[in-house]
Structure 1
Amino acid sequence: MNAIAEQTDVFLRFAAYTAASEAIASGLYPYFLPLQGHEGTTVRRNGREMIMCGSNNYLGLTTDHRVRAAAHSALDAYGTSCTGSRFLNGNIDLHLELENELAGFLGKPAALLMSTGYQTNLGVIAGLLTPRDYVVVDRHAHASVVDGCRLSGARLRWFQHNDATSLAGVLERLPDDAPRLVVVDGVYSMEGDLCDLPAISAVCRRYGARLVVDDAHGLGVLAKGRGTAAHFGLTDEVDLITVTFSKSLASLGGAVAGSEEAIHYLKHHARSLMFSAAMTPANTAAALTALRILRDEPQLVETLNANADYVRQGLAAAGVETGDSTTPIIPVPTLGTYETLSVWHRLSDRGVYVNPVVPPAASPRLRTSFMAAHTRGQLDHVIESIAAERALLLNRERVTAGVTTA
């Protein structure tokens, strides 16, 4: 290959990427692992049953017989696919039914379904904003939010995580006549902490900014499942709420809820909606049934949060750091990238499935998450297993001593 080709051939970066291959060779590669079975709180890998503590199946509804039956019925009635976008030929009555019930549940006049939660944020942000606008985003916001901002061409500004004073400083520096949108997560997916919505919404009102809350991890978790805005009593202060169905609602898809005018506009401007095939009938029916179960059985949310509190208290008693988590997402910081992969492997040997997170996604940690369906026996085993690996964890004693992660 000549010198010019070496500079211009984008495929050369394939050979230059060696990090994953090195992890595979070491036996510590933790991603894309095939599971042979999934029963909610347990999974099977390599023929062995493990306690699942890495799923976002917060209410344990993916295996609920009512959800499964609804998906089967929709499959029989509508077939496997809508075979087109909702904008043209893929719109079915189940989509409208789910939109109406979801909007009512979230306390908004209208909602709009999209094919995934990721596409929802892409469609909402890129469909709403233009290059003359400013979008101000929490530094810990989800990747789909960031990608939506970049796709929109709007001028992106950041504020420090959960810091309303930092947000006010950013908004203060914008031109007086600049259209501005603020985007935050309701529950942050890596830390498990809540957005300081009262302070942030007050700043938005003061500076005339519209507010979007991505509540992917708040739906089904807070305020009898109604999410972060309802938890703080601020539903009317949040202009748009985006959610996904791949977590508490045991399906695949997403939606945005807001005013009738906003939803009407996004129907005709959100390209990820207009140019993607619609949610499948089975996915739609599963999400609709899960939503009805959530609405009718709020005790599931109480059990979920009681389980999360039990794990946090158990880990704290063992001297294991869990950050600022107040939700079923409980991060366990580790000493570094190698330690993260090592403790993940050791926990797997103990029959505990967790998610290893390493830079650049976030600082090294185990991301654990819990369900309403977990038994106390399962949770005790998880607590004991994590506590037994304290040598590889960034525990409270090391934090006090000033040890930092690699």
Structure 2
Amino acid sequence: MSYLTDLATDIEKLKQDGRYRQIKVWESGSDTWMHLKGRRILQLSSNNYLGLTHHPKLKEAAIAAIEKYGVGSGSVRTITGTLDIHDELEMELASFKGTEAALVFQSGFTTNQGALSAILGADDVVISDELNHASIIDGIRLTKASRKIFAHKDMNQLEAVLKETQHHRKRVIVTDGVFSMDGDIAPLPDIVHLAETYDAIVYVDDAHASGVLGKNGKGSTDHFGLHGRVHIQIGTLSKAIGAVGGYVAGAQLLKDYMIHTARPFLFSTSQTPAVAATCLAAIRVLKESPDLVAKLWDNANGFRASLQRLGFDTGASETPIIPIIVGDPAQTMRFSDRLLEEGIFAQGIVYPTVAMDKGRVRLIVTAQHTEADLAFALATLEKVGREFGLI
């Protein structure tokens, strides 16, 4: 068939460019050390920031939920798919985030799709940082709103856009809290100040800030002390929380509106009871375990500083996301493959996810990495980095 021929041609081009990847099939659960083709590999690309995937309280909660509710919810939320465990999770999330209400979706990706398409209409304008996540970009594409992009963290350009869009009904500024490819933090206080000056709505996606920034991992709003001044907070349950899902935290009226208008919420079966119970247990663990977040930051800051002393280019990183900038896509993937040969999994990320000349391996340091783990990682990175002329 001709369409398969076209696909084969496109795949061959990916291979020629050095950008073709086969999915790795891991033989163990998400952890600091994982098994791949019978080998024990140090994991430096996992979003399991706090190591909660194996926490005993989370596993106990999941098993108890299966015993009580079974393995599925049986429906979408608006029919029979809202169980008391879902309601309890949303109340716990709202309390944790310091908002009136929270609404849970099946993933962080669908959360952005559902929220943005629900709140934005043809008379509105959405103003988005150029490096926002793909789920934000796709969510914006689903709306009929006007679209404006401002250069990454450029507050002068953001202000200029706010000035020229005053005729729109609503102006919604959208930003990641922590940017997933570079590991830098949004200038949220400046964004909030401009929003208040020009009567705009602030929408923050905290996928990589949930469980990472703020007291007990409450996110970027808490990190900057901006409670009550950020209108819409998007969080994930798929990274530091250790399970899967996403949520919107904000006003009760916002929740009520999205229940009636957010299509991923309306037309997707709700989280399994085990997942909802796991997420609920994780939030409670976070409230009781400030040491986990502190350990995460100690590991990340120390490891980043050591990489920089060796001479690696870690870009704009200021969080546990630490890229090593390589540049050329094919060279980036070879560097990633060479690290795997030495026992470290560090995912290569290249165009179109990042700019053509900004290929990098993206390292993520977790709270569960030991001093020995990180010492092995540094020694290996130094060896392979010298082979590739990166240091």
Into which bin does the TM-score normalised by the smaller protein fall? over 0.9
Deviates more, 1:158-167 or 1:170-179: 170-179
Q: CA 1:310–1:23 in 2, change beyond 3 Å: closer, same or farther?
A: farther
Counterpart of 1:189?
A: 180
1:374 maps onto 2:369 in alignment: yes
Cα distance in 2, alignment partners of residues 337 and 322 from structure 1: 17
Other-structure match for 1:207 = 198
1:299-338 equivalence runs, <5 A: 299-338=291-330
Residue 22 in 1 paired to residue 22 in 2?
A: no
Inter-partner Cα distance in structure 2 for 1:252 and 1:20: 34
- The answer to whether the Cα contact below 8 Å between 2:30 and 2:46 also exists between their aligned partners in 1 is no
Extract unaligned runs of 5+ from structure 1.
2-8, 398-406
Shift in CA distance, 83/115, structure 1 to aligned 2, threshold 3 Å: same
**Cα deviations by residue, 1:65-92 (Å, 9 ceiling, x for unpaired):** 2111111111121111112110111111
Quote the Cα distance in structure 1 between the aligned partners of 2:89 and 2:4: 44
Which residue of the other structure, out of 40, 46, 65, is the alignment partner of 1:55? 46
Task: State the match for 2:347 in structure 1.
Answer: 355
Query: Residue 141 of structure 2 corresponds to which residue in structure 1?
Result: 150
d(CA) in 2 for partners of 1:176, 1:214: 26
Structure 1 residues 12 and 172: alpha-carbon distance in aligned structure 2, compared to 1, 3 A threshold: farther
Instruction: Tell me the secondary structure at the aligned position of residue 152 of structure 1.
Output: coil
Q: 1:68 aligns with which of 40, 53, 59?
A: 59
Secondary structure of 2:86's counterpart equals helix
Task: Please state how far the C-alpha of 1:316 moved relative to its aligned partner.
Answer: 1.1
Among 214, 235, 251, the residue aligned to 1:259: 251
Give secondary structure in 2 for the equivalent of 1:331. Answer: strand
Measure the CA separation in 2 of the matches of 1:90 and 1:73.
Answer: 18
**CA-CA distance at 1:20 after TM superposition:** 7.0
Find the residue that maps to 1:38 and give its secondary structure: coil
The structural deviation recorded for 1:21 is: 6.6
Determine the structure 2 residue equivalent to 1:6.
none
Per-residue CA distance 1:195-248 (angstroms, 9 max, x = gap)? 000111111111111010000111110112111010000121100100110101
Check 1:54–1:19 CA distance in 2 against 1; reply closer, same or farther (3 A cut). Answer: farther
- Name the structure 2 match of 1:230: 222
Q: Which amino acid is the alignment partner of residue 361 of structure 2? A: L
Distance 1:39 1:337 in 2: 27
Distance 1:322 1:133, change over 3 A: same
- Which is further off, 105-114 or 15-24? 15-24
3-state SS in 1 of match to 2:323 = strand
Shift of 1:331: 0.6
RMSD value, Cα: 1.9
Corresponding position of 1:271: 263
Please give the secondary structure, in 2, of the residue aligned with 1:289.
helix
2:152 corresponding residue in structure 1: 161
For residue 38 of structure 1, report the CA deviation from its aligned partner. Answer: 2.4
Residue 132 of structure 1, CA deviation: 1.9
Structure 1 residue 175, shift from structure 2 partner: 4.3
**What TM-score does the superposition give when structure 1 sets the normalisation length?**
0.91
- Over the matched positions of the two proteins, sequence identity in percent amounts to 35
Deviation by residue 1:277-310 (Cα, 9 ceiling, x = unmatched): 1011111111111111111011100000000011
Q: Which amino acid aligns with 2:285?
A: I
SS class of match (2:265): helix
Check conservation: 1:35, 1:45, Cα contact below 8 A: yes
1:192 is displaced (CA, Å) by 0.5
Hey, what does 1:129 align to over in structure 2? 120
- Secondary structure of the residue aligned to 1:130 is coil
The 3-state SS of whatever aligns with 2:228 is helix
Q: Structure 2 regions of 5+ residues with no counterpart?
A: none
- Number of equivalences: 387
Write the letter of the residue equivalent to 2:213.
L
Amino acid at match of 1:165: N
Counterpart of 2:196 in structure 1: which amino acid?
A: R
Task: Tell me, in whole angstroms, the C-alpha distance in 1 between the residues paired with 2:22 and 2:152.
Answer: 28
CA distance in 2, matches of 1:261, 1:393: 55
Shift of 1:140: 0.6
CA spacing shift, 1:394–1:202, aligned 2, 3 Å: farther
Contact in 2 for aligned 1:322/1:331 (Cα 8 Å): yes
Partners of 1:227 and 1:339 in 2: how far apart? 35
Aligned to 1:35: 26
Larger deviation, residues 164-173 vs 267-276: 164-173
Match of 2:104, as an amino acid? L
Cα gap change, 1:75/1:42 in structure 2, threshold over 3 Å: closer, same or farther? same
Match for residue 6 of structure 2 among 13, 16, 38:
13
Rounded to whole Å, the distance in 1 between the matches of 2:184 and 2:388 is 20
Distance 1:87 1:193 in 2: 38
CA distance in 2, matches of 1:15, 1:301: 45
Asked whether the equivalents of residues 334 and 393 of structure 1 are also in contact (C-alpha less than 8 Å), the reply is no
1:112 Cα deviation after fit: 0.4
- Superposition TM-score, scaled by structure 2 size: 0.95
